[in-house]
Each structure stands twice: as structure tokens, then as C-alpha cells.
């Protein structure tokens, strides 16, 4: 009898990432890392490459979740932890979640009618018997083409509350989808977790995504 595939743990509070994984045949546990994202960005230094910053964020989240899972009463003997983090790169500057109405409005007035890169860091850990046995990490980049939305549309979108707590102040799979003219790259990465990249990272830690489908 072949060994049972590992338990999948998503280290993210993002409902969009969870939807992507469920639609793609997985049913992960969700454990929120509570990592201080601003502190990780600051520790990376102002000269760090954007890909390095988002990958460090993803790795910090995955490591925090691995520690939490290992210390839980129902810790699986074999698990894969998936951590992700996204930021928008515009004019050489990374931006994350706007958090406030004023910041979201200013952000949208800066990006409308322009293109920017959505950078998403990914980290996959293989944890057996409470110990990280393997790790793989990488980032993806997708170009997002923003519509030239007028002030009234921008204000209505900001008032919806949707852009306040999402990376880059927009979604592709929600109200923000109306305001995106197109993308160049992986759609799932823009939503927050790139399936092709995660498939490769899983293989790097010795896990077949087809086996995970079977477990789910």
C-alpha cells in the first residue's frame, strides 16, 4: 500500500487563495501566520530586490505556520506548508495593502491607465514529525493593465471596502475585475497563489500534486 500523501496547510488568511486551491482539487487546513509584514519588509532593507522581499515574506509566513502546526495537539506526521505574499511593483516601489480609504484612493489614481507588476512570493515546506525536512521558494511576476477609471468609479470601488485589505489595492476575481483591462502572466498568481509555480515547488520537496488531489 502506497504511503498516504501529506496534509496540506495554507498559511494565509486570504479567502481568495483558499478558493483557488479548493477549485484546483485541494482541501487545505488554514493556519494564519500573524507575521508582521511591515517588519519583514523593513528588515529586508531598502536595496532589496522586489522578488527577494516578497519571497522573504512568504518564507516568514510558512516558517511561522510550520512552528504553529508542529506545536498543535493534532499535528500531522507529514505536512506541506504553503506560504504566499503579494505586492504591487510600480515605478520601482512595492506597495501592499492600502488599509485606509485615503491610501486606496490615492493608489488607484496613481495606477489607473497604467501597467504594473504583481509580485507574488511562494514558499513550500515539507514538515515531517515536527521538523522542516525540505523547503523550496520562488517568486512570480505578472503584468497587470489597469483601466483608466474615472474618479467616480474609483471612489465607488474604494467605498466598497474591497481594495483596502488586498495586495496592490485590487482583485481580479471580485469587483476589481471590472477595472483590469488585462494581464500578462498567470491569473492564479494575480489572485494570490500561482498554481504552476506551487506545483513545481511541491515537486522540489518531494510531493506530487496528483497525489494531493487523491488525498482531497
Active site residue ranges = 85
Cα 106 from chain centroid (whole Å): 23
Nearest partner of 142 among 99, 104, 180, judged by Cα: 180
Nearest partner of 31 among 41, 44, 46, 18, judged by Cα: 18
Judge whether 93 and 84 are in contact, CB under 8 Å.
no
SS (H, E, C) 73-141: CCCCCEEEEEEEEEEEEECCEEECCCCCHHHHHHHHHHHCCCEEEEEEEEEEEEEECCEEEEEEEEEEE
Amino acid at each position: 500500500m502506497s504511503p498516504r500523501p501529506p496534509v496540506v496547510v495554507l498559511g494565509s488568511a486570504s479567502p481568495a487563495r483558499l478558493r483557488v486551491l479548493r477549485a484546483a482539487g485541494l482541501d487545505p487546513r488554514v493556519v494564519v501566520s500573524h507575521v508582521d509584514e511591515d517588519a519583514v519588509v523593513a528588515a529586508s532593507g531598502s536595496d532589496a530586490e522586489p522578488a527577494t522581499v516578497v519571497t522573504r515574506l512568504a518564507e516568514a509566513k510558512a516558517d511561522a505556520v510550520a512552528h504553529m502546526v508542529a506545536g498543535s495537539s493534532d499535528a500531522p506526521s507529514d505536512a506541506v506548508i504553503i506560504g504566499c505574499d503579494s505586492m504591487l511593483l510600480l515605478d520601482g516601489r512595492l506597495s501592499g495593502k492600502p488599509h485606509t480609504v485615503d491610501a486606496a484612493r490615492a493608489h488607484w489614481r496613481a495606477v489607473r491607465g497604467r501597467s504594473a507588476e504583481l509580485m507574488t512570493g511562494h514558499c513550500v515546506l515539507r514538515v515531517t514529525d515536527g521538523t522542516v525536512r525540505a523547503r523550496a521558494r520562488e517568486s512570480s511576476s505578472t503584468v497587470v493593465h489597469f483601466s483608466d477609471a474615472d474618479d467616480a468609479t474609483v471612489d465607488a470601488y474604494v467605498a466598497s471596502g474591497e481594495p483596502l485589505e488586498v495586495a496592490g489595492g485590487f482583485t481580479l476575481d471580485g469587483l476589481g475585475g471590472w477595472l483590469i483591462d488585462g494581464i500578462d502572466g498567470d491569473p492564479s498568481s494575480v489572485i494570490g497563489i500561482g498554481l504552476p509555480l506551487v506545483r513545481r515547488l511541491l515537486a522540489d520537496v518531494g510531493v506530487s500534486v496528483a497525489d494531493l488531489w487523491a488525498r482531497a
